Structure 1
Amino acid sequence: MRLLVTRPERESQALAAELRARGHEVTIAPLLSIRYLDGVSLPKRDWQALLVTSANGARALGRIAEADLKRIPVLAVGEASAAAARAEGFANVRAAEGDVHTLDALAARVLDPAKGPLFHAAGSVLAGDLKAMLEARGFEVERLALYEAEKQDLPQDVLDALKDGQIGGVLFFSPRTAGQFAALIRAAGLPSSLGGVTAYCLSAAVAGELAGLGFRTVQIAAEPSLKSLTALISA
């Protein structure tokens, strides 16, 4: 099956290699490109823990964190963001199960509001308000945008492939990406061309952005993780 992967380029390349090894043809068309913000720095405080809600957040944090800060515990939203944090040199990393709600629950289990503030390495656009969740539990949370994800268009050859029924499935990992895809498909007049296409979605929130597009079926991962999402795709 020919699959369309819409993640940012870095994540798409690794995923495409995995899918090709399983016998699929893969086209990469990132709908978001990542730009790290200049002129930002990690405030100097006695942080109890650092929080990352994406692999890009982990990489952005690694760019600005000095060596001593890399010994501070990191709580990551999932295994991909945890792996990115470890690759950046953070020594004490724990992963939640894949979304801000499970990260909030993990923080509540292993951290103590009395033991110091938390720092959230965020993007310029948020998927869920982790800061508010943790503040409701009594934590002090400082959040700083370290990167932004800029919307990208679908290349014309990808639009043509969708129109001609050459793509059998599209993978979506965020509501923002799914929303951008929906907007581009509607602008191109192609919703009726998706009748033979399956949408593979990381969560119900992602799937919600695709309502009314006319996919053959919209499948939702059992849990918000890469492993769970790719398990939906038949060999």
Structure 2
Amino acid sequence: MSEDRPAPAWAGDVHAGVEAWTRSSRLSKSGAAESDEPDEPFERVPTGRPRRKSGASRARSTERATGRTREPSSAPPPPDKVALGPPADPEAVARKILLDALTGQARSRKELADKLAKKEVPAELAERLLDRFEEVGLIDDEAFARAWIESRQPGKGLARRALAHELRRKGIDDEVARDALDQIDPDDEAAAARVLVRKKLRSVRGLEQQKATQRLVGMLARKGYGAGMAFAIVKDELRLDAEPDEEL
């Protein structure tokens, strides 16, 4: 007498029996072992060429392989327009440029105009402000020319011709410069030339008189002195410098 086999779980239920038989048939055809466990859901992966990774996936793969991570961008944030406030008034900016330039020393109108142009101040605005500064006396080319001569003539020993060249370079009108240069006393100009020659005498001692004369006259010429005055002063100073030696 054979042993009684246990009844299947689906016995007595036609729907469960059909489902169990259908599943068993599918597993048998695919070569898989029969199992009473329910099928797990799965996703079909298409066969053929592997799917290409996106740029972000490649970057993450590279970071995992090398152990490096990308640094965050160091670009500065855009400026805060609210914090910066409204744009500055062009006229106020130009006026401050002029006042700063005039602090501590006088300047000619041309010098100030050049400074405004360098700061890209509109020409019309610059001209209007320069006229206003001239009206109130903050710009005075005549006073500037006189002050320039008073500082350069005795201090540097410059003659009229050299001073005229400097004033022209400062943008001073020739007539204004001439009026200022006429204030120079000829005796003061000659005295300044003698001071220059005496300072240079030590460097030409021991030279032939002709060569010493040429050097000293050349030095005075570079200071703006005419040839006639230069030769007369140099000859006289060389003679005076040699007199003590003759007495010995």
TM range (shorter): under 0.3
The TM-score with structure 2 as length reference comes to 0.22
In terms of fraction of residues, the more helix-rich structure is 2
